A and B are shown apart, each in its own frame.
Chain A
């Protein structure tokens, strides 16, 4: 999921066997420590997060990049792979949710004005910094300086967006609509097929295929997303965890978050007081960063030079990072929590998010060079 700001380090020598063994052993030891001292579920979730990071970085499976490819080159391969992965999850997750008796929940949220607007802004910002929810984590883990700078502001934005969430939902929100059971699965798969059909119809000649590596990545990602659901009881998500990191920071600096209609609820207050190592999305987020780092070192990909960007690009990164966090909270998720997990667990809001964010992506693609994020010419 590296951005296009710098050339790939394709000629770098491979890391040594010792380094690679150390990387894998280190990751396993960390997961074992978490399992032993915090809890077995949490150790498993860290491993699942590491898997997400390894698959996303290892196979270069992304969200922002493929959408850009579709918009600028009418190449639908990466976006089709996303839809394939979502479909694979839906085939298992939607029936599972119907039979789980409340032990599993879907990523289901209501459609509303702020939700749609938030998704539009997120779609624009993820093109500006070439990093979505998962992409920012992966790119930071693999040493991308734009994502590294965006990440803390993403977390602050997520905290602020959650703080104001109920104000935004009161602007106008439909009742929660979800596609349940067998009929819900048929509707979801039908809509995914229709979306794929539209992409194929719009595609440039010679691009109507999914590359082999993305077939593999889509299947692996679906398997990991289902493991996340079965182990955690909830689907794969990103932005709640990031907001929680900032909420902990705000509390440590003396802020009173009990007045917030979101952070002040007993459940969220408890999470702010508990260790991040007991929070599902924090664990998978940490795992994603760690997995991407592992792949980058494995490939000896850290020798790549840093991009020479103008000042306005760094300012834009800070603002876009904040907006990524804020908008994804009022949109009830990012490309992971709303688009991937929302659609694959039958939520209508995932579809509304997809349409609105793709619209925003057109704006973001135009803004990126204006803001200097294509690098100096």
Chain B
């Protein structure tokens, strides 16, 4: 009998494949241009990559 071990394993594979594909396709991360650890009080404007946000 097939169990959720199969489907949970497929989910893990899906995520792993997504991250590998992403790392291969994306620009390298610039660790010297990172936002502040916490946005509140950082003085940096919020990004707006949210489903409620209209495009700029």
Binding site for B on A (CB under 8 A): 37-41, 44, 96, 100, 102-109, 140-145, 148, 151-152, 165-166, 169, 229-235, 237-240, 244-245, 248-249, 251-252, 261-262, 265-268, 271, 273-281, 286, 289-290, 293, 296-297, 301-306, 328-329, 332-334, 337-338, 341-342, 347, 349
Q: What are 21 A-B residue pairs whose CB atoms fall within 8 Å in the complex?
A: A37-B29, A37-B31, A104-B39, A109-B52, A142-B8, A143-B7, A145-B7, A148-B10, A166-B54, A231-B38, A231-B40, A232-B46, A233-B42, A233-B44, A240-B53, A275-B22, A278-B29, A286-B15, A296-B4, A305-B2, A306-B4
**Interface residue count on the B side (C-beta < 8 Å):** 46
CB distance from B41 to the nearest CB of A (A): 7
Given the known inter-chain contacts A144-B7, A293-B12, A305-B1, please indicate yes or no for A230 contacting B39, CB distance below 8 A. yes
- Interface positions, chain B 6-56, Cβ under 8 Å from A, are 6-8, 10-12, 14-15, 18-19, 21-23, 25-27, 29, 31, 34-56
B50–A234 CB distance below 8 A:
yes
> How distant is the Cα of A148 from the Cα of B10 in the complex, in angstroms?
8
Residue of A nearest to B23 (CB): A275
Write out the residue numbers on chain B whose beta carbons fall within 8 Å of the beta carbon of A296. 4, 8
B19: contacting residue among A169, A276, A332, CB under 8 A: A276
Given the known inter-chain contacts A233-B46, A305-B3, please indicate yes or no for A273 contacting B27, CB distance below 8 A. yes
Question: Majority SS of interface residues in chain B?
Answer: loop
Given the known inter-chain contacts A267-B48, A337-B50, please indicate yes or no for A289 contacting B27, CB distance below 8 A. no
B3–A103 CB distance below 8 A:
no
Write out the residue numbers on chain B whose beta carbons fall within 8 Å of the beta carbon of A151. 11, 14
Binding site for A on B (CB under 8 A): 1-8, 10-12, 14-15, 18-19, 21-23, 25-27, 29, 31, 34-56
Given the known inter-chain contacts A276-B18, A296-B4, please indicate yes or no for A337 contacting B52, CB distance below 8 A. yes
Residue with the greatest number of chain B CB neighbours at <10 A, chosen from A40, A244, A251:
A40
> How distant is the Cα of A107 from the Cα of B54 in the complex, in angstroms?
11
> How distant is the Cα of A95 from the Cα of B23 in the complex, in angstroms?
39
B38–A281 CB distance below 8 A:
no
Write out the residue numbers on chain B whose beta carbons fall within 8 Å of the beta carbon of A333. 51-52
B56: contacting residue among A143, A248, A267, CB under 8 A: A267
> How distant is the Cα of A44 from the Cα of B36 in the complex, in angstroms?
12
B52: contacting residue among A108, A140, A166, CB under 8 A: A108
Residue of B nearest to A266 (CB): B56
B15–A235 CB distance below 8 A:
no
Q: Considering the complex of A and B, which 3 residue pairs feature the smallest CB-CB distances, nearest first?
A: A143-B4, A233-B39, A143-B8
Write out the residue numbers on chain B whose beta carbons fall within 8 Å of the beta carbon of A267. 47-49, 55-56
CB distance from A327 to the nearest CB of B (A): 11
B4: contacting residue among A230, A275, A304, CB under 8 A: A304
Write out the residue numbers on chain A whose beta carbons fall within 8 Å of the beta carbon of B36. 41
> How distant is the Cα of A252 from the Cα of B29 in the complex, in angstroms?
18
Write out the residue numbers on chain B whose beta carbons fall within 8 Å of the beta carbon of A96. 40
CB distance from A5 to the nearest CB of B (A): 11
Given the known inter-chain contacts A103-B42, A232-B39, A289-B11, please indicate yes or no for A240 contacting B4, CB distance below 8 A. no
CB distance from A301 to the nearest CB of B (A): 7
Write out the residue numbers on chain A whose beta carbons fall within 8 Å of the beta carbon of B39. 41, 103-104, 230-234
> How distant is the Cα of A103 from the Cα of B41 in the complex, in angstroms?
7
> How distant is the Cα of A111 from the Cα of B31 in the complex, in angstroms?
39
Given the known inter-chain contacts A141-B8, A142-B8, A143-B4, please indicate yes or no for A41 contacting B52, CB distance below 8 A. no
A105–B51 CB distance below 8 A:
no
B49–A103 CB distance below 8 A:
no
Given the known inter-chain contacts A104-B39, A142-B8, A233-B39, please indicate yes or no for A238 contacting B34, CB distance below 8 A. no
> How distant is the Cα of A373 from the Cα of B37 in the complex, in angstroms?
44
> How distant is the Cα of A142 from the Cα of B7 in the complex, in angstroms?
8
Write out the residue numbers on chain A whose beta carbons fall within 8 Å of the beta carbon of B40. 96, 100, 103-104, 229-231, 233
